[in-house]
């Protein structure tokens, strides 16, 4: 069985645009990042526009970072994104959203 490639398929320009969307979402909704045994959980204050943007971003991430699963769900006053992986890909997921975490810490 072939191993899945652990890499993002976005160009540099696409990465910049995507990072900006994540940054804007985090600033708008007071998000948080929790490291889990299999990846990350991103937590946002729920609103229809936040959930819509999070679902759109998760769908886009599924395309470029297919080595992880991207699951959005509602939980009381929050909307959550679980980013999970297996094996060596877990470390890659743990490294994701470093800039996003810094944005939240500065906010």
User: Burial level of 70, CB count in 10 A (0-12/13-18/19+)?
Assistant: buried
Contacts with 63 (C-beta within 8 Å, 6 or more apart), sequence order: 9
* pTM assigned to the model: 0.86
Residue 75 counted as domain residue: yes
Residue 6 counted as domain residue: no
Residue 8 counted as domain residue: no
Number of H helices, E strands in the chain: 4, 4
Residue 64 counted as domain residue: yes
Total count of domains within the chain: 1
Residue 4 counted as domain residue: no
What is the distance between the alpha carbons of residues 11 and 49, in angstroms, rounded to a whole number?
27
**Mean pLDDT of each 10-residue bin along the chain, 107 residues long:** 69 89 86 90 93 96 92 94 94 82 65
SS3 38: coil
Phi, psi of 40 (to 5 degrees): -140, 155
């Amino acid at each position: 069985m072939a191993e899945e490639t652990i890499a993002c398929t976005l160009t540099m320009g696409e990465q910049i645009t995507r990072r900006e969307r994540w940054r804007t979402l985090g600033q708008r909704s007071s998000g948080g990042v929790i490291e889990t045994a299999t990846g990350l959980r991103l937590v946002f204050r729920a609103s229809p526009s936040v959930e819509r943007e999070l679902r759109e971003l998760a769908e886009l991430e599924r395309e470029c970072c297919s080595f992880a699963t991207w699951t959005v769900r509602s939980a009381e006053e929050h909307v959550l994104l679980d980013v999970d992986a297996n094996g060596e890909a877990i470390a890659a997921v743990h490294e994701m959203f470093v800039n996003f975490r810094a944005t939240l810490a500065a906010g």
